[in-house]
Amino acid sequence: MPSIIGHSLAGAVASKLGLNKFANLNLIKLTLLSVIAANLPDIDVIFHHLGWDSFEALAHRNFFHSVFFALIASPIFAIAFYRKENSIIKAQLTVYFIVVTLSHSLLDMLTEGV
C-alpha cells in the first residue's frame, strides 16, 4: 500500500501540473490542498482506530475510496477554499480535485493493500 508520503507526493506533483491551468492561484495553498485531497480517502483509518469499521461502509477501502466520495468531497474543497474565485474556476478546481482524490485509489489499486 502506498504510504502517506507516496500519496502526498502524488498530490504535490498534481499541483505542479495544475499550475499551467491555475497560474493565478497561490501555489502553496494549491499544493497543500492537493496533498490533503490525495490523502483524504484514508480518513477511514480513523474509523478503524475508533472501532467503527464494523459498519461496512466505513471499513478501509470502501466508501471513502470510491468515485462517489471524490464527487462529493471535491466540490466542497473548491467552494470552501476558493470562495472568491468565479464559478468557472471553481468548476475547473472541482474536476482537478476529483482527479487528485481519485489518484489515491489508483495508487492503492497498484498494491495488495491492507
CA pair distance 67, 96, nearest whole angstrom: 14
The pTM assigned to this predicted structure is 0.84
pLDDT (tens digit per residue) in 17-52: 877 778 788 989 999 999 999 999 988 877 777 776
Nearest to 74 by CA among 62, 61, 88, 91: 91
Cα distances from 54 to residues 9, 40, 57, 62, 95, in angstroms, run 31, 20, 9, 12, 32
Q: What pLDDT, on the 0 to 100 scale, is given for residue 86?
A: 93
Q: How far is CA 35 from the centre of its chain?
A: 7
- In tens, the pLDDT along 54-109 reads 666 656 667 788 899 999 999 999 999 999 999 999 999 999 999 999 998 888 88
